[in-house]
Amino acid sequence: MAEYPQDPRAPDAPYLAFWRERHLCTLTTLRPDGSPHVVPVGVTYDPEAGLARVITNKASAKAGFVRAAGAEGARVAVCQVDGRRWATLEGRALVHGEPDRVTEAERRYEERYGRRPAPNPSRVVIEIELTRAMGRG
């Protein structure tokens, strides 16, 4: 994994491999006053679709901050760190509650994290349309 921006739709093999490993991540959203809201999350990366996905409860603060940004989406970042290795994905996020989108996000979560998420009828998915990928291997 090189120390430079990656194309989020065509990452190099080490960058993609790092995102396939099991790591806790952070999601950074912005509060209405512009201050960062950073929380731990599980993230899945789908370069073919140009998306990162985070499952959450529809009443969560992170989902609320994304919704508050409006129809154009919220600028967000997800990041993971393992020693000296790190990777960040940036983009515009929207909250989706459609069952097919939530089911796909749950499937990908189980694939990456090795466990099925607990049932949650209030679950939504934050889909991040990726604009930038950075990292250092």
What band does 6 get if pLDDT is binned at 50, 70 and 90?
A: confident
Mean pLDDT, the chain, whole residue set? 95
Structure tokens at 112: 């990456």
**Can you tell me the distance from the alpha carbon of 100 to that of 102, in angstroms, rounded to the nearest whole number?**
6
Residue of 109, 91, 85, 94 whose CA lies nearest to 8: 91
pLDDT of the residue at 43: 98
pLDDT of the residue at 12: 92
pLDDT above 90 covers a percentage of the chain that reads: 94
**Can you tell me the distance from the alpha carbon of 101 to that of 106, in angstroms, rounded to the nearest whole number?**
9
Assess whether pLDDT exceeds 90 at residue 62: yes
What band does 137 get if pLDDT is binned at 50, 70 and 90?
A: confident
13-136: CATH number: 2.30.110.10
The two most distant CA atoms of the chain are separated, in Å, by 41
Three-state secondary structure of 13-52: HHHHHHHHCCCCEEEEEECCCCCEEEEEECCEEECCCCEE
Q: What is the mean pLDDT of residues 70-87?
A: 97
